[in-house]
Chains A and B, each alone.
Chain A
Amino acid sequence: MRAFVKSLTLDLFGAVLLAAILLFYFKVDHTKGLFGFSIPDSLLDVHTIFLSIILEAIPFILVGVLISALIQVFVTEESLQRLVPKNPWMSLVPATLLAAIFPVCECAIIPVIRRLLKKGMPLHVGVIFIVAAPILNPVTVASTYFAFRTQLTIVYARFLLGFLLAILIGAVIYLLFKNKPQLKIAKDELGGKQEIMRSISQPSPSRLRLAFYHAADEFFETGKYLIIGAVVAALFQTYFNRNLLLSISSHASSSSLVMMAFAYFISLCSEADAFVAASLSSKFSPSSILAFLVFGPMLDLKTTIMLFAYFRTKFVLIFMATVIIFVFTAVMILHNYIQ
């Protein structure tokens, strides 16, 4: 009886939610504030940027979760194992090359990689994908070329650095972790329950339909981190004065660090960040622009939140430190060669 009442209230809640959405859809007048309250302009700016990040990312998150779902349903662990070279050192370069043709950006890559890791892909190969795919993917190449078409040094340097650093970071992760699993384990997986379910399971729905259910569930899992990340990034974008970047970046090393931090906090999609970098290129040295372009796709605020959700804390911290050290060192070495 109690269960019945509880279920009824929850159903009611669902109905109210649906009604609210429909009511907003049909009734709300956008020219006024919310229910007569006027909202400060700067908060509306935050909201605009917040929604634009989410709406921009949703299609790509969907691509990511659909690819992940298709992998889950159609790729078996055995076939994956056959594809990965036995010797871990031999897999570094092929993995980076494969990442380069993988057309996904940093929002979409994490669910895909998590799925592949669950299927038994080695950890360092997954790490290579996480750092290389967003930089080296074809769309990023095209947009970077367009934004920097007359400063091709930056374009070449970005992709060369992305490629080499991905291999190095993969190698370091292999040395540090070998192949010990670093994913968090969902509660469901801890056994028991599945056995019971299996015994009572009904005839299987089609595999494709199963893939779609997966995709939706994963959309929710990934989406919550995206939305939280978007709130922070929108606040930062609205209230942070970019002229401050200049005043605290007098030196080559400090300006590279500042630009890395900037790339981290604005959390732009790797496929669009080249345009923002181009707008800063008259005020910053090429090496610090490069720091922005290489670091941002590998690591930013919203991917960090996703990483912490899926991977063990210790692993994420070591991974972040590795990426920061490698990108910074590489940019400092290059600083003397590019002008």
Chain B
Amino acid sequence: MDQENTYWRQHDLFRGIILFGFSLLLFQFIVSGNIKYYIAPKMVVFSIIAMIILFLLSVMHIVRSCSNRETLEIDCDCGVDHQATGRPWLKVMFYGVFILPILTGFSLPHKFLDSAVAENRGVQLNFNTATNTVAKTQNDSDKQTVAASPGDPVPSTTQEGKKSAEEVFKEARFGKTEAELALKLYKQDIIQIPDDSYVADLSAINVYLDQFIGKKLELTGFIYRNGQMQKDETVVARFAVACCTADANVFGIDVKGNLVNKYKNDTWVKVQGTIDQMEADGIMVPMLHVDKIEPVGAPKDPYVY
């Protein structure tokens, strides 16, 4: 019976230590802010809860390993293999699987995804990934408005560019939030794309692309080029993360002009340019003719959400 007891004590101890290790790993990531390499901010609250639960479980196990084990749990008839059965090397493997992420998590340098990953994932030039239909419908209705306007008694679309654009936003039948966002962006002299609404802003511009052609836009991103691009062409891209880094998508805007020549992949730049449109996969997407481009340091948080 003694041997049995020792056996259980050790499993409790090992499991307690591993649970403690996971809890400590989460603690360090959360406190240092390094969790941003792995998890989107809105999901961090779940990591905090997990950290607390793991810590409680680890304390329970370590305390139990130091006292005499109550044999009752084995009696619970639950069908879980409460023990790591099998040969010693299997046990080593079993615990090794859990120790691996703890030790690599603590010891390997953190790294943001970069253009090498972007290459494999493919860069999205179309910000309306889910709004193709809107873009098409909206553009169609624009054309109808324009076509109808000559005979229209009310001075509408053709008279003044700005007015027509605002009217188009107001007429938006669906995607109301996008229309409001587009109007807000449209009012700026040089449209700024902040990190915290990067995808939403560019998506709004993409939906109402016709209205935005010729406007100035400024944004920050990293340089991404693939083999098929011209010398004076690049994509300024960002990784967009929904829940965790594994689901990151790469969004980018095509930038053309001689000024972009000298920038290499993964250089962070702030670029200002004039909005134009180009075709990608049969859909019109925004692009920029570069006016100004300057290297900037990588942002503290290179991902957008």
CA distance A34 to B161 in the complex (A): 59
Partner of B72, one of A32, A60, A187, A204: A204
Instruction: Count chain B CB atoms within 10 A of each CB in A114, A183, A188 and give the residue with the most.
Output: A188
Question: Which range contains the number of B residues in contact with the other chain?
Answer: 35 or more
User: Does A271 reach chain B (CB closer than 8 Å)?
Assistant: yes
Partner of B98, one of A55, A72, A224: A224
**Are A11 and B72 within 8 A (Cβ)?**
no
**Are A45 and B60 within 8 A (Cβ)?**
no
Residues of B within 8 Å of A335, CB to CB, are none
Instruction: Count chain A CB atoms within 10 A of each CB in B15, B111, B132 and give the residue with the most.
Output: B111
Q: In chain B, residues 1-24, which have Cβ atoms closer than 8 Å to a Cβ of chain A?
A: 1-3, 6, 9-10, 13-15, 17-22, 24
**Are A272 and B247 within 8 A (Cβ)?**
yes
Q: In chain A, residues 1-53, which have Cβ atoms closer than 8 Å to a Cβ of chain B?
A: 3, 7, 10-11, 14, 17-18, 20-22, 24-25, 28, 30-34, 39, 41-42, 44-45, 47-53
User: Does B259 reach chain A (CB closer than 8 Å)?
Assistant: no
Binds A, one of B41-49, B149-157, B267-275, B294-302: B41-49
User: Does A215 reach chain B (CB closer than 8 Å)?
Assistant: yes
Across the two chains, which residue of chain B brings its CB closest to A237? Answer: B246
**Are B10 and A11 within 8 A (Cβ)?**
yes
Partner of B47, one of A14, A55, A148, A215: A55
Q: In chain A, residues 165-200, which have Cβ atoms closer than 8 Å to a Cβ of chain B?
A: 183, 185-189, 193-194, 197-198, 200
- Closest beta carbon of chain A to B237's beta carbon, Å: 13
User: Does B194 reach chain A (CB closer than 8 Å)?
Assistant: no
Residues of B within 8 Å of A32, CB to CB, are 109
User: Does B57 reach chain A (CB closer than 8 Å)?
Assistant: yes
Q: In chain A, residues 260-284, which have Cβ atoms closer than 8 Å to a Cβ of chain B?
A: 266, 268-269, 271-273, 275-276, 278-283
**Are A45 and B111 within 8 A (Cβ)?**
yes
Partner of B79, one of A58, A185, A239, A278: A185
**Are B106 and A59 within 8 A (Cβ)?**
no
**Are B101 and A221 within 8 A (Cβ)?**
no
**Are A51 and B107 within 8 A (Cβ)?**
no
Partner of B24, one of A14, A21, A275: A21
User: Does A138 reach chain B (CB closer than 8 Å)?
Assistant: no
**Are B71 and A202 within 8 A (Cβ)?**
yes
User: Does A213 reach chain B (CB closer than 8 Å)?
Assistant: yes
Question: Quick one: given A147-B130, A201-B72, A238-B117, are A233 and B109 in contact (CB under 8 Å)?
Answer: no
Residues of A within 8 Å of B130, CB to CB, are 147-151, 278, 281
User: Does B229 reach chain A (CB closer than 8 Å)?
Assistant: no
User: Does B175 reach chain A (CB closer than 8 Å)?
Assistant: yes
Per-position contact with B for A137-153: 1 when CB-CB < 8 Å, else 0?
A: 00000010001111100
CA distance A198 to B70 in the complex (A): 11
**Are B50 and A59 within 8 A (Cβ)?**
yes
**Are A238 and B283 within 8 A (Cβ)?**
no
Binds A, one of B119-127, B163-171, B184-192: B119-127
CA distance A268 to B247 in the complex (A): 7
Across the two chains, which residue of chain A brings its CB closest to B27? Answer: A25
User: Does B198 reach chain A (CB closer than 8 Å)?
Assistant: no
**Are B116 and A45 within 8 A (Cβ)?**
yes
**Are A28 and B80 within 8 A (Cβ)?**
no
- Closest beta carbon of chain A to B123's beta carbon, Å: 10
Per-position contact with A for B81-120: 1 when CB-CB < 8 Å, else 0?
A: 1110100000000100111111111111111111011011
Question: Quick one: given A20-B103, A45-B117, A210-B72, are A53 and B129 in contact (CB under 8 Å)?
Answer: no
User: Does B263 reach chain A (CB closer than 8 Å)?
Assistant: no
Question: Quick one: given A150-B134, A189-B77, are A62 and B72 in contact (CB under 8 Å)?
Answer: no
**Are B103 and A33 within 8 A (Cβ)?**
no
**Are B246 and A53 within 8 A (Cβ)?**
yes
User: Does A223 reach chain B (CB closer than 8 Å)?
Assistant: yes
Q: Count residues of chain A with CB under 8 A from any CB of chain B.
A: 102
Residues of A within 8 Å of B10, CB to CB, are 7, 10-11, 14
Binds B, one of A88-96, A240-248, A323-331: A240-248
User: Does B75 reach chain A (CB closer than 8 Å)?
Assistant: yes
User: Does A219 reach chain B (CB closer than 8 Å)?
Assistant: yes
CA distance A55 to B37 in the complex (A): 11
**Are A50 and B108 within 8 A (Cβ)?**
no
User: Does B133 reach chain A (CB closer than 8 Å)?
Assistant: yes
Across the two chains, which residue of chain A brings its CB closest to B103? Answer: A24
User: Does A212 reach chain B (CB closer than 8 Å)?
Assistant: yes
**Are A24 and B106 within 8 A (Cβ)?**
yes
User: Does A118 reach chain B (CB closer than 8 Å)?
Assistant: yes
Partner of B57, one of A149, A212, A243: A212
**Are B243 and A272 within 8 A (Cβ)?**
yes
Question: Quick one: given A58-B50, A278-B129, A282-B126, are A48 and B110 in contact (CB under 8 Å)?
Answer: yes
- Closest beta carbon of chain B to A171's beta carbon, Å: 27
**Are B242 and A272 within 8 A (Cβ)?**
yes
Instruction: Count chain A CB atoms within 10 A of each CB in B20, B110, B132, B246 and give the residue with the most.
Output: B246
**Are B243 and A271 within 8 A (Cβ)?**
yes
Q: In chain B, residues 48-65, which have Cβ atoms closer than 8 Å to a Cβ of chain A?
A: 49-50, 53-54, 56-57, 60-61, 64
Across the two chains, which residue of chain A brings its CB closest to B93? Answer: A224
The 3 closest A-B pairs by CB, nearest first: A24-B106, A56-B244, A59-B46
Task: Jot down 26 A-B pairs with beta carbons below 8 A, ordered by A.
Answer: A14-B13, A17-B99, A28-B106, A33-B109, A41-B114, A45-B113, A48-B112, A48-B245, A53-B244, A58-B26, A118-B79, A147-B129, A186-B79, A186-B80, A189-B77, A193-B74, A204-B70, A214-B78, A224-B94, A238-B120, A240-B120, A241-B120, A243-B122, A266-B246, A282-B124, A282-B126
Query: B residues near A, CB below 8 A?
Result: 1-3, 6, 9-10, 13-15, 17-22, 24, 26, 28-29, 34-35, 37-39, 43, 46-47, 49-50, 53-54, 56-57, 60-61, 64, 70-83, 85, 94, 97-114, 116-117, 119-122, 124, 126, 128-134, 174-175, 240, 242-247, 249, 280-281, 283
